[in-house]
Structure 1
Amino acid sequence: MADGAPAAPTPLKAAIEAYLNHLGIERGLAANTQAAYRRDLTRYRTYLADQGVIDPRTITKKHVRDFAVACAETPSASGKPLSQRSIARIIVGVRGAHKFWLRENVTTIDPAAGVQPPTPGARLPKAVPVEQVTRLLEAPDITTEVGLRDRAILEFLYSTGARISEVINVDLDDVVFDRESENAGTESTASVPAVARLFGKGNKERVVPVGSYAARAIEDYRVRSRPSLASKGKGTPALFLNARGGRLTRQGAYLILKKHAERAKLPGEISPHTLRHSFATHLLEGGADIRVVQELLGHASVTTTQVYTKVTADTLREVFAAHHPRAQ
C-alpha cells in the first residue's frame, strides 16, 4: 500500500455499509433512524475487532451473545449503563444485519438468529400538568420577533402532539386556516381555526387540527415576525425560521424549549417529546377515544398509544382515593 493511501475497509465494515445502504435506499428509513443503526453497528464492529473478527463470515453465535452481554456491562457515552431498551434496539439492528447478509450470500449462516434482545421494562411517558404547560407556553416574550416565533413553536407542539422532526419540516403551505370558522366567532364547535399537514415516520402524511391558541400564535408570528426573519435568509418555504432566516433545526428547537422551560421554572427535564406525551395524556384524561389519539399522534398501531392509558389510570386512582368517601 502506498504511503498516505487510505486503508481498505475490512470485509465487516464493507458488509455493514451495504446493509446501511439497503436501509436508506430500499427501505427508505429516515435519516435519524439510519444514523442510529450506524452508531449501533459501529459499536458491534468495534467490539468484534477487539476480538480479532473483521469478516462477517467468521462471526459465531457466541460472538453475538457475548456482545449482548458486553452492551449491558459497558457504559454509554454519558458514563451510565445502557438501558435494556437501548440494548434491545442494538441487538435488533445486529439481527437485521445478519439476516440481510445471509439473504445477500455474504454469509452462509445467521449466527444472530437465536439471540434474543432483553425485554425492555415498561416505561411510562413523562407528562407535565396542564398548569405547568400553560406556564411554559406563556414564557416567551412576544414583544420580540423571536419571542413570537418561540410562542408559535411551543403552542404548535402542544396543540398537535407533533414530533419535533415533523414541526421543523412544516412549510408555510402546510398550515391552512379556516377563515370562515374564524369569522363565525366561538359558537361553532364542529371545526377548528386551522389544520396542519405533518409528515411522520416513513414520510407518512397525516392532517391534524390546530387549536385556537396555536392558530393565533402562528398567525401573529407569520404576520409580525416571520417576514423580518425571512429577509435575513435566502428564501425558504419553512414555517419556523432561525435567526439567520433558514429552516429551524432540531437542536435549535430543543434549545428554544429548554430556554423557556427554565424561564418558566419547570421542574425536571423538559423535551419536545414531553409536550407530545402531555398532549396525549391530557386528551385521554379529558375523555378522548384512544383510536382518535392514535391517529393524531401518527402511531401505526394502537398498541403504541396504549402506554398512555397507564398514565391516566394512575390519575384516576389518585382522584378516586382523594374523593371517594369509602376509598380508604
Structure 2
Amino acid sequence: MRREDMVREYLVHLRIERGCSPLTAEAYGADLADFSAFLDRCGIACLGDVERETVVAYEADLLERGYATSSVDRRVSAIKGLFRFLVREGLVRRNPADTLQLPKAPERLPDVLSASQMDELLSAPVERAPIPLRNRAILEVLYGCGLRVSECTGLDVADAVLDEGYLRVVGKGGKERIAPVSGAAAQALEEYLAEGRPLLVRPHAKPTPATFLNARGGRLSRQSVHALVADAGRTIGVANLHPHTLRHSFATHMLEGGADLRVIQEILGHADISTTQVYTHVSRAHLREEYVKAHPRARALPPS
C-alpha cells in the first residue's frame, strides 16, 4: 500500500473509530503531511523503511526550523499513533517512534490582556457597516463568552438565544453547552444581526444558517477570524493577538472577579477541571506583578 493511502486509512480510523472531530483529524493530517515531505527529502518512499534514526532526524529538522518543543512533541505523537495503527493492521512490522521520549516542555502560562487593554480593544467607535459590525460582534463574543474560534465560526443564528441571555455552543467532540452572553456581547450581536448580516446575505444564494458571514455570504472561516483579531490587536499596540488570548483573558478576568472555578470550567467547556486550573496560576502571577509595581519594598522579593 502506498504511503499516502496508509496515512489516509489512519485518518479515517481517527474519525470513525476514535471519534475525533474533523478539526482534530485535519491537524493530524497536516502534521503527517509535513513528516511525509521530510521522508521525500530523505528519499524514503515506504513507511516500512522508516527507522528510529529517521524520526530522530525529523525531530532535529523541526527544531532547526524553529518549532517549539511542544510542537515537536505533538508531531512525534502523531507519528507514533500512525505507526501503532499500521502495526496493528499488519501493514508495517514495527513502530520506529515507540521508544522515543522528548524532554517535557516547560509549562507556559497562557497570554492574557489586562482588563484595561480589553476595554480599549472593545470601546473603539464602530462604523455602521456590515463588516465592522460583524467584527465587533466576534470580538465581543470571543471575550464575553470565552469561545474557541471554531465554536464562534460554528454558531448559527438560531444558537443566539439573546432574550434569555445565552448561546448554544457546540464544542470539542460535538458536545453542546450553554454559554452566558455578556450585555455588551448581546448588544453587539443584536446590532450585527439586525443591521450587518442582512447586507452580507446574497439574494440568490442558497440560504445559510451561519451567524457570521463573509463578504460572499458564506460562513466565515477560522482563518478570517484569526486575521481580524490580529488586526484589532494592532490598533491597541498588541502584536500577533490570537483569538485564544481573548478566551484566556475571559477566564482570567472571571476568576479575578471572584467566579467559581467550576463555573468557569462549565462555561469554557473543559472536560477536566485541571485544564481550567491553569488560570489560577495566571491570576497569582498577575497579582504578584501588580504588587511588585505598587509596593515600594516589592523589588526585594525573590523571583517567583
Q: Is the 8 A contact 2:55 2:96 kept in 1?
A: yes
Identity %: 41
CA distance in 1, matches of 2:214, 2:190: 17
Q: Name whichever of 251-260 and 311-320 sits farther off.
A: 251-260
1:87 has 2:58 as partner: no
Match of 1:4 in 2: none
Q: Residues 85-127 of structure 1, C-alpha deviation per residue, up to 9 Å, x if partnerless?
A: 1100100000000110111111232222111233222111111
SS of structure 1 residue aligned to 2:166: strand
Aligned-partner SS, 1:208: strand
1:115 corresponds, among 100, 120, 145, to: 100
Instruction: Check whether the contact 2:233–2:239 (CA below 8 A) recurs between aligned residues.
Output: no
Q: What is the distance in 2 between the residues matched to 1:123 and 1:137?
A: 27
Pairwise mapping of residues 60-71 of structure 1 onto structure 2 (< 5 A)?
A: 60-71=51-62
- Between the aligned partners of 2:60 and 2:243, the Cα distance in structure 1 is 32
CA contact (8 A) 2:230 2:239 kept: no
1:202 to 173, 187, 195: 173
- Which residue in 2 is equivalent to 1:227? 198
Q: Is 1:97 equivalent to 2:68 in the alignment?
A: no
In 2, Cα distance between the equivalents of 1:208 and 1:313? Answer: 26
> What corresponds to 1:124 in structure 2?
109
> In the alignment, residue 141 of structure 1 is paired with which amino acid?
V
Give the secondary structure class of the aligned counterpart of 1:225.
helix
Paired with 1:58 and 1:318, the residues of 2 have a C-alpha distance of 53
Q: Following TM superposition, by how much is the alpha carbon of 1:275 offset from its aligned partner in structure 2, in angstroms?
A: 0.7
Kept in 2, the 8 Å contact 1:234–1:246? The answer is no
130 and 16 in structure 1: CA distance in 2 versus 1, 3 angstrom threshold: same
Partners of 2:107 and 2:19 in 1: CA distance: 29
1:265-299 C-alpha deviation (Å, 9 max, x unpaired): 23222121111111111111112222222221112
Secondary structure in 2 matching 1:196: strand
Superposition map of 1:246-261 within 5 A: 246-261=218-233
- What is the aligned partner in structure 2 of residue 7 from structure 1? none
- TM-score scaled by structure 2? 0.89
Count residues with an aligned counterpart: 298
Structure 1 unaligned segments of length 5 or more: list them: 1-9, 76-80, 179-192
Q: 1:64 to 1:143 in 2, by over 3 A?
A: closer
Preserved CA contact (<8 Å) 1:229 1:242: yes
Q: Which residue of 2 aligns with 1:32?
A: 23
* Partner in structure 2 of residue 78 of structure 1: none
Shift of 1:173: 0.8
Unaligned runs of 5+ in 2: none
**CA shift for structure 1 position 37:** 1.6
- Per-residue CA deviations over 1:122-168 (Å, capped at 9, x if unaligned) read 11111111111112112352422332222221111111110111111
- How far apart in 1 are the matches of 2:49 and 2:238? 51
Q: Is the 8 A contact 1:139 1:260 kept in 2?
A: no
Residues 44-77 of structure 1, C-alpha deviations (whole Å, 9 max, x = no match): 223334444322333332333333233223x1xx
Q: Which residue of 1 aligns with 2:289?
A: 318
Compare CA radii of gyration and give the structure with the larger one. Answer: 1
- Distance of aligned partners of 1:119 and 1:245 in 2 relative to their CA distance in 1, 3 Å threshold: same
